[in-house]
Amino acid sequence: MKDWMKRKGVEPGFRLYFIHSLSYMALGLFASLIIGLIIQTAGETMEGAGIEAAWLTGTGAAVIALTGPAIGAATAYSLQAPRLVLFASLAAGAVGYEAGGPAGSFLAAIIAVEAGKLISGETKLDIILTPLAVIMTGAVTAAAAGPPLQAFVTSVGRFVMWSAEQQPLLLGILIAITMGLALTAPISSAAIAVILGLEGVAAGAATAGCCAQMVGFAVSSYRENKGAGLAALGIGTSMLQIANVVKNPRILIPPTAAGAVTGALAAAVFAMENNPEGAGMGTSGFVGQIMTFRTMGFSLDVWTAVLLLHFIVPALLSFLLSEWMRKKEWIRFGDMKIEQS
């Protein structure tokens, strides 16, 4: 049985599903829910300024509606699914999303895709049996596990948000550090935020922590990576530093310390808020900032807080701390060099 499963490419494992596939799920979220919200926000902003943009808000809503299928397809791609399994995974992701939100869609897609891989190519009725197996496995998984899974992750998210409101200083620090590290590690902070449904000051602190990782690494590694690295890390992803973190974990200290400060300020002083789609994105494509404006509006106070907490403070703190660590030779030239080709 084990050899047969290996031959079919089915090798279950925590790292495969909850690190590798979860990161691809985040890409599916980005290509549907998050992009759809950006388009919708642009349309609503234009309409607020008296510009006709109903088609833009409509396009955004249509893209958002395809979140489940996008999660299914992204998950199937991460598991190297055969063609029919990949195509049918869109339906599995859709029914999973309907029953259990993003978490339900992800779980239904994983189980459905692995089941589909086992049956794929095994019969002469492959074109019928394979998609049928994928869709029905996804539907059964969604019906059985979707609602309780959604209830569980929602409860966890609500507890985190409630805790942040009760102890904004402490929880602001913890949330910012945790989500920031998740962003840099091969784990998806964006998927975690959406699955937990982080909102309010908890989401604001998470955004600050993620921004600190990206901006912090971009600025503190400027010596090695110059302008290209500044852009890649600052508006791309700090995950580009993960190989360097393994070699010298001390390089995590400047952006993480900066995140602790900005997370505390975001939650306890500025009462920054965000939505689930922006909470784990940081400055990646400026999604964290766009969603902050969508949540809090475009007032001067919000602009000031965003500039300070998402850019200026983490850049300054990370630079000063990293320079001090370089003088102590805890960080050496080349320790934060990223591959840019």
Report the range of poorest mean pLDDT among 9-18, 169-178, 258-267, 282-291.
9-18
- Asked whether residue 336 is domain-assigned, the answer is no
Q: Could you tell me if 231 and 311 lie in one domain?
A: yes
334 lies in some domain: no
Whether residue 25 lies inside any domain: the answer is yes
pLDDT number for residue 52: 80
Residue 341 — pLDDT band, cuts 50, 70, 90? low
Domain boundary among 154, 181, 199: 154
Question: Is residue 340 domain-resident?
Answer: no
201: part of which helix (H) or strand (E)? helix 200-220
Residue 318 near residue 217, CB atoms below 8 Å:
yes
pLDDT tens digit string along 257-290? 999 999 999 999 999 999 999 999 999 989 999 9
Same-domain status, 126 and 191: no
Mean pLDDT of 190-215: 96
What pLDDT sits at residue 340? 65
Residues 137 and 239 both lie in one domain? no
pLDDT value of position 85: 97
134-164 pLDDT, tens digit each: 999 999 999 999 999 999 999 999 999 999 9
- Residue 52 sits in the same domain as residue 108: yes
Residue 185's pLDDT band (boundaries 50, 70, 90)?
confident
Within this chain, do residues 139 and 174 fall inside the same structural domain, yes or no? Answer: no
**What residue numbers bound the domain in which 312 lies?**
167-327
Q: Are residues 176 and 145 in the same domain?
A: no
**Cβ neighbours around 163 below 10 Å, total:** 15
Q: Residue 59 — pLDDT band, cuts 50, 70, 90?
A: very high
Task: Return the closest-CA partner of residue 314 out of 199, 233, 239, 244.
Answer: 233
CA dist 94 and 82 (Å) reads 19
Q: What is the mean pLDDT of the chain?
A: 93
| Four-CA torsion 187, 78, 290, 311, nearest 10 degrees | 40
How many C-beta atoms surround the C-beta of residue 11 within 10 A?
11
Predicted local distance difference test score (pLDDT) of residue 10? 87
Please state, for a pLDDT cut of 90, what percent of the chain lies above it: 80
Q: Which long-range contacts (CB under 8 A, 24 or more apart) does 164-169 make?
A: 164/200, 164/201, 164/202, 164/205, 164/267, 165/200, 165/201, 165/202, 168/201, 168/205, 168/267, 168/268, 168/271, 169/264, 169/267, 169/268
Q: Output the CA angle 101-102-106, nearest 5 degrees.
A: 120
Closest CA to 258 of 176, 142, 190: 176
Whether the per-residue pLDDT at 339 is higher than 80: the answer is no
Looking at residue 220, its pLDDT comes to: 96
Q: In terms of domains, do 88 and 237 share one?
A: no
pTM score, two decimals? 0.85
Do 8 and 74 share a structural domain?
yes
Q: Total structural domains in the chain?
A: 2
Q: 172 with 237, same domain?
A: yes
| Residue 117 confidence (pLDDT) above 90 | yes
Same domain, 320 and 202: yes
| Whole-angstrom distance, CA of residue 179 vs CA of residue 264 | 13
Residue given tokens 């074109």 in the structure block: 127
